[in-house]
């Protein structure tokens, strides 16, 4: 391979990596901006929830059509389109002065993320040599984690800036700077998007897409940009042999329900569903809350989250270096085994204090106003009053710092408050309102509870289902929980984090790859959405220990699938992998 080909391969990895960076920014950027957006926008809790959820809605929509679009327009053009949508979304959000533009901008970000999640791993799998395909897809995941780290660091930076302005004691200046802060957080993510658009126009189209379109000379020319002539000729021969159309019309008429298509598709779907069932997205989203409840202070918990993202980033780098040496099967088995141990450890650390939790829902229900609302400042005085009413059980923990989380519902729609701690001197009252629980429209209602009656919920009385007071452990327990979460994300990054994209793009035969990836990713998002919806209510009712033990049980299925059913694909071309399933299931 000459210098020009080596340079092109590095450039291709850089462009794909920028796609991963955008995906990570899409996922994480709202966390840092949301507190300032909430303080300055004047939006209701229901409207803010739609702004946050619009990314998910956009991602679901685009994931459904990403495979069809990439088959119709080509992988490279869809990559460019996804980058353009991201670039357009930034000024749409950052210059907005109302609810509509905010939702539209976030929807565009979600559409961009859904397209990137399908087409970039697909493009890499079809363009890279077998010997470097694992590393290439790992670079996508590595820079995805960098996007999450960058979003966390930007959020911390503006948090310090806002605190500095707040120290002046001038409310108007604080409000003005908070408005600048959330807009600036979005502007920071614009340059990578522009670079991704530029880079995607400079790489070659997928040779396998070109071949399927009958453009064999163009396919060979695309291969020659990254391979020697002999390597290009060999892969062209393999494509001819495995061609699902054109060169072999018998295969084109093969039913899609044949085992050679169904088995790899089901394997990819199981792996993606189990990947979300590890709880990774919820652990990232609620990381700070988890650490606060484990015993850390607010500041320590926020720094714990930053360390968490850095560990994720560094461990992903390690996975990228190992994936083409050790193989996908080994890393997935190793990673899921470690995840199980880490999750059980986290659950055990929460189990002891949660045995002492007390439900004071009757007392909180009595605080509901005629407007079906509750405003409750949870401090030591309030905690002592609520615990005293519970008699002996309350007296066991009344001298210790405690936390309160309230699960409530209006009709078919349930919500949970953030956990409030009795020793937080800067705490604001817990506000329970209809807007925070009942979706603003039927689209959001469907994603919240497909069977829920929205009209009835808008008239229903407020019901306090649980109001749980739990003793807060000491700081040492908090750092032990933080350590188990660091281990969790390290094992996840080395194994599933790196390999899941490979499993998605490598396992499926050429004929179903693009649409199969869309369906599998849609299932992935469905599992993620379900977990996100039940996380706080389950934690509120049964405790963090139950949630983490549940994640561990799901990961056991992941481990079994990876260790006993997943074939090793290291060093094999896509056509060789397809041939494996064809021969193994005749």
Give tens-digit pLDDT for 74-115.
999 999 999 999 999 999 999 988 888 998 998 999 899 889
As a whole number of angstroms, the distance between CA 178 and CA 164 comes to 12
Does residue 328 sit in the same domain as residue 363? no
As a whole number of angstroms, the distance between CA 338 and CA 555 comes to 10
The whole-number pLDDT of residue 253 equals 54
Q: Is 70 exceeded by the pLDDT of residue 72?
A: yes
- CA 177, 144, 142: angle at the middle one, nearest 5? 130
The whole-number pLDDT of residue 584 equals 60
The whole-number pLDDT of residue 268 equals 82
Does residue 12 sit in the same domain as residue 155? yes
In a domain, 6, yes or no: yes
Does residue 56 sit in the same domain as residue 165? yes
In a domain, 378, yes or no: yes
Q: Is 50 exceeded by the pLDDT of residue 247?
A: no
CATH of the domain at 50: 1.20.1250.20
Q: Is 80 exceeded by the pLDDT of residue 48?
A: no
Give the pair of three-digit tokens for residue 519.
Answer: 């369906």
Q: Under a CB-based contact definition with an 8 Å cutoff, are residues 75 and 118 in contact?
A: no
Among residues 471, 497, 519, which one ends one of the domains? Answer: 471
Does residue 32 sit in the same domain as residue 144? yes
Give the pair of three-digit tokens for residue 262.
Answer: 């169904």
Does residue 105 sit in the same domain as residue 138? yes
The whole-number pLDDT of residue 259 equals 67
In a domain, 29, yes or no: yes
The whole-number pLDDT of residue 317 equals 87
pTM of the model: 0.76
- CA 397, 298, 546: angle at the middle one, nearest 5? 55
Q: Is 80 exceeded by the pLDDT of residue 508?
A: no
In a domain, 81, yes or no: yes
Does residue 370 sit in the same domain as residue 450? yes
As a whole number of angstroms, the distance between CA 562 and CA 2 comes to 37
Taking only the tens place, the pLDDT of each residue in 419-448 is 788 887 777 888 899 988 888 777 777 766
Closest of 95, 346, 310, 79 to residue 203, by C-alpha: 79
Long-range contact pairs involving 437-446 (C-beta distance under 8 Å, separation at least 24): 437/408, 437/409, 437/410, 437/413, 438/46, 438/410, 438/411, 438/413, 439/46, 439/49, 439/50, 439/413, 440/44, 440/46, 440/47, 440/49, 440/50, 441/50, 443/57, 444/49, 444/50, 444/53, 445/413
DSSP code, position 97: -
As a whole number of angstroms, the distance between CA 240 and CA 246 comes to 9
The whole-number pLDDT of residue 248 equals 45
The whole-number pLDDT of residue 227 equals 85
Does residue 297 sit in the same domain as residue 446? no
CA 422 vs CA 345, 376, 429, 471: distances in Å: 26, 12, 11, 10
Does residue 140 sit in the same domain as residue 194? yes
H/E run at residue 402: strand 402-410
As a whole number of angstroms, the distance between CA 420 and CA 378 comes to 6
In a domain, 52, yes or no: yes
In order, the DSSP letters of 67-92 are HHHHHHH-HHHHHHHHHHHHHHHHHH
CA 29 vs CA 317, 412, 497: distances in Å: 22, 31, 19
Does residue 344 sit in the same domain as residue 362? no
Among residues 438, 471, 504, which one ends one of the domains? Answer: 471
Q: Output the average pLDDT for the chain.
A: 83
Most confident of 303-312, 458-467, 504-513: 458-467
The whole-number pLDDT of residue 105 equals 92
What's the whole-number mean pLDDT along residues 173-182? 86
421: domain range? 358-396+401-471
Does residue 63 sit in the same domain as residue 159? yes
In a domain, 222, yes or no: no
- As for how many domains the chain has, the answer is 3
Q: Under a CB-based contact definition with an 8 Å cutoff, are residues 503 and 566 in contact?
A: yes
């Amino acid at each position: 391979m000459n210098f020009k080909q080596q340079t092109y391969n590095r450039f291709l990895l850089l462009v794909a990596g920028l796609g991963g960076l955008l995906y990570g920014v899409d996922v994480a950027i709202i966390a840092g901006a949301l507190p300032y957006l909430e303080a300055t926008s004047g939006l209701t809790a229901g409207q803010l929830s739609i702004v946050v959820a619009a990314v998910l809605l956009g991602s679901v929509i685009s994931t459904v059509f990403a495979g069809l679009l990439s088959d119709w327009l080509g992988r490279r053009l869809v990559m460019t389109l996804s980058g353009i949508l991201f670039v357009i979304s930034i000024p749409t959000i950052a210059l907005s002065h109302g609810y509509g533009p905010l939702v539209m901008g976030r929807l565009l970000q979600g559409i961009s993320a859904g397209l990137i999640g399908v087409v970039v791993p697909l493009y890499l799998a079809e363009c890279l040599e077998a010997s470097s395909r694992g590393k290439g897809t790992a670079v996508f995941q590595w820079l995805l984690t960098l996007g999450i780290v960058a979003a966390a660091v930007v959020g911390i930076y503006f948090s310090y800036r806002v605190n500095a302005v707040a120290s002046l004691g001038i409310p108007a200046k604080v409000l003005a700077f908070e408005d600048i802060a959330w807009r600036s957080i979005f502007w920071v993510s614009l340059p990578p998007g522009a670079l991704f658009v530029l880079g995607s126009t400079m790489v070659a189209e997928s040779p396998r897409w070109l071949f399927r379109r009958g453009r064999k000379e163009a396919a060979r020319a695309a291969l020659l940009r990254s391979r020697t002539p002999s390597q290009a000729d060999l892969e062209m021969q393999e494509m001819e042999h495995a061609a699902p159309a054109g060169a072999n019309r018998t295969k084109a008429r093969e039913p899609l329900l044949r085992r050679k298509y169904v088995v790899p598709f089901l394997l990819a779907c199981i792996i993606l569903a189990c990947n979300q069932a590890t709880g990774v997205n919820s652990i990232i989203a609620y990381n700070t809350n988890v650490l606060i409840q484990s015993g850390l202070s607010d500041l320590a918990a926020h720094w714990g989250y930053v360390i968490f993202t850095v560990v994720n980033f560094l461990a992903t780098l390690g996975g990228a270096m190992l994936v083409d040496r050790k193989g996908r099967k080994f890393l997935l088995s190793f990673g899921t085994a470690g995840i199980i141990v880490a999750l059980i450890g986290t659950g055990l650390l929460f189990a002891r204090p949660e045995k002492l939790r007390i439900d004071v829902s009757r007392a909180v229900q009595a605080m509901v106003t005629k407007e079906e609302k509750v405003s409750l400042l949870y401090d030591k005085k309030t905690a002592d009053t609520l615990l005293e009413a519970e008699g002996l059980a309350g007296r066991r923990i009344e001298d210790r710092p405690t936390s309160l989380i309230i699960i409530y519902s209006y009709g078919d729609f349930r919500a949970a408050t953030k956990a409030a701690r009795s020793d937080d001197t800067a705490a604001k009252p817990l506000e329970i309102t209809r807007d925070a629980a009942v979706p603003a429209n039927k689209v959001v209602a469907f994603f919240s509870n497909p069977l829920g009656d929205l009209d009835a919920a808008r008239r229903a009385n407020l019901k306090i289902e649980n109001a749980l007071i739990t003793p807060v452990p000491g700081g040492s327990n908090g750092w032990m929980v933080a350590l188990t979460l660091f281990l969790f994300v390290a094992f996840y990054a080395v194994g599933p984090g790196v390999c899941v994209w490979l499993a998605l793009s490598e396992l499926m035969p050429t004929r179903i790859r693009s649409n199969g990836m869309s369906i599998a990713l849609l299932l992935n998002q469905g599992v993620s959405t379900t977990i996100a919806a039940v996380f706080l209510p389950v934690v509120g009712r049964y405790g963090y220990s139950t949630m983490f033990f549940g994640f561990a049980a799901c990961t056991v299925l992941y481990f079994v699938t990876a260790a006993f059913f997943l074939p090793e694909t290291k060093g094999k071309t896509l056509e060789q992998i397809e041939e494996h399933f064809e021969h193994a299931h005749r």
